[in-house]
Amino acid sequence: MTAKEIREKETDHLKDELVEKRKHLFDLRSQAVTEKLEDPSQLRKTKKDIARMETILAQRATEQQPHHKKKSKATRRSQQQTAANAAGATAAAAGATK
């Protein structure tokens, strides 16, 4: 299964198919242990299909999340200093009232 084919599927259908692929992989592993696996390359193909599906599902999840603008170091530093100054002022005010 190619990435293009996977992308064409709906998310719910893709999740269902992912569960089925995982079950199939479990069955293949069981066959490999009992030495009844006819085509060992199926293990690798199934693992790759699962990885492709998980990757596309993760991409879709990140696309649905709102984008947050990353703050620059200067902005973060400024906010930290403001918070520290506010905390110091609060401590000074508390000490002055005693």
Q: Are 11 and 58 members of one domain?
A: yes
- The segment with the largest mean pLDDT, out of 1-5, 20-24, 88-92, is 20-24
Contact 34, 12 (CB under 8 A): no
Q: Domain range spanning residue 43?
A: 3-67
Q: Are 59 and 76 members of one domain?
A: no
- Per-residue model confidence as pLDDT tens digits over 28-80: 999 999 989 899 999 999 999 999 999 999 999 998 887 766 667 777 777 77
Q: Are 9 and 52 members of one domain?
A: yes
What's the number of domains the chain is made of?
Answer: 2
Model pLDDT, residue 97: 59
Contact 46, 25 (CB under 8 A): yes
Model pLDDT, residue 45: 96
Query: What is the C-alpha to C-alpha distance for residues 66 and 38, in angstroms, rounded to an integer?
Result: 47
Residue given tokens 């599927």 in the structure block = 9
